[in-house]
Copies of this chain bind each other. A is one copy, B any other.
Amino acid sequence: MKLSEIDTPAVLIDVDRAEANLERFQAYADSHKLAVRPHIKTHKLPRFAKRQVELGAVGITCQKIGEAEVMADAGLKDIFLPYNIIGKSKLDRLVALNKRVQLAVTADSEATVNGLAAAFRKQPKSLIVLVECDTGAGRCGVQSPQEAVALAKLIEASEGLKFAGFMTYPKNGGISENEAFLSAAKQLALDAGLDPRIISNGGSPDMWRAHEVTTATEHRPGTYIYMDRFQVAKGVGSFDDCALTVLATIVSRPTGNRAIIDAGSKSLTSDTLGMEGFGRIVEYPDAVITSLSEEHGTIDLSACGNKPQIGERVRIIPNHACVVSNLFDKVNLISGDEVVEIADVAARGRVD
Contacts and interface: CB of A to CB of B under 8 A. Distances in A.
Contact of A326 (B9, B142, B296, B327): B327
Interface string A78-116: 000001101101100000000000000000110110010
A349 B10 CA distance: 11
B294 A258 contact: no
A109 B258 CA distance: 13
Report how many copies the assembly holds.
2
A269 to B, nearest CB: 6
B64 A311 contact: no
A222 to B, nearest CB: 9
Contact of A87 (B7, B139, B266): B7
Interface in A261-290: 262, 265-267, 269-272
A86 B251 contact: yes
A295 interface: yes
Given A10-B352, A253-B109, A349-B327, A298 B139 contact: yes
21 contacts: A8-B352, A9-B351, A10-B351, A41-B294, A63-B294, A86-B251, A86-B310, A108-B254, A109-B252, A109-B310, A111-B309, A112-B252, A112-B310, A142-B254, A262-B352, A265-B269, A265-B323, A269-B269, A270-B270, A327-B327, A329-B349
Interface of A: 7-10, 41, 63-64, 83-84, 86-87, 89-90, 108-109, 111-112, 115, 134, 138-143, 249, 251-255, 258, 260, 262, 265-267, 269-272, 293-296, 298, 309-311, 322-323, 326-329, 349, 351-352
